[in-house]
Chains A and B, each alone.
Chain A
Amino acid sequence: DAGVIQSPRHEVTEMGQEVTLRCKPISGHNSLFWYRQTMMRGLELLIYFNNNVPIDDSGMPEDRFSAKMPNASFSTLKIQPSEPRDSAVYFCASSLNTGAEAFFGQGTRLTVV
């Protein structure tokens, strides 16, 4: 398996633009997580899905952020409109229900100018 695949690896966008980050979890995994890494806050859990259903979105910063998981092999994290303070590395991870070990993608480095 290729592991968790995220795209794009890097994204530079202007303030106010819509940004969509994409994730393909490991086949067979039924939990998917979106994390954001910043210097100040470390790795923050934004939202997680179990069997394509959002379980906990309390970490989503505000209404500008939304996430979807239309099927077991794809998820998106959308920021609309984007702001400079959204600049961070966004990680997607997936795991099996039977174990807490989550496997991470390589991340998307987002820069909002």
Chain B
Amino acid sequence: DQQVKQNSPSLSVQEGRISILNCDYTNSMFDYFLWYKKYPAEGPTFLISISSIKDKNEDGRFTVFLNKSAKHLSLHIVPSQPGDSAVYFCAASAGSSNSGYALNFGKGTSLLVTP
């Protein structure tokens, strides 16, 4: 039962344009959302996160938007660069500080930024 869904397996964008990666979730208990980036033969690396008390978080070229009513979040990359080509995973958690946070991941979206 996939609680975090990334319905687009792949996305191709031209360099300099905006990349928009989407993610939906089903568990209303999720209160923290993260995006990870993964290059081949490496582990996922943390990119950006957002708490459920916010609807937007920005870090340089990366912005994450959260729509709680729709149980939807998106990652915007502006402007896209060829080095952004990677697999992007959406993750969500509903943990507590007593037992730690377990991340539930989507299946990932492979982004290709072409020159």
Contacts and interface: CB of A to CB of B under 8 A. Distances in A.
Contacts of A43: 44, 89, 105, 107-108
Interface stretch (B58-66, B73-81, B91-99): B91-99
Contacts, number: 69
B45 interface: yes
Q: How large is the interface on B (under 10, 10 to 19, 20 to 34, 35 or more residues)?
A: 20 to 34
Interface in A5-64: 30-31, 33, 35, 41-45, 48, 50, 55-56
B43 interface: yes
Contacts of B2: 42
Contacts of B100: 30-31, 48, 50, 55, 95, 97
A102 B97 contact: no
Interface residues of A, number: 28
Contacts of B43: 4, 91, 93, 104-107
A38 B100 CA distance: 25
B103 A55 contact: no
B53 interface: no
A98 interface: yes
Contacts of A44: 105
A1 interface: no
Interface in B43-61: 43-46, 49
Interface of B: 2, 32, 34, 36, 41-46, 49, 89, 93, 95, 97-108
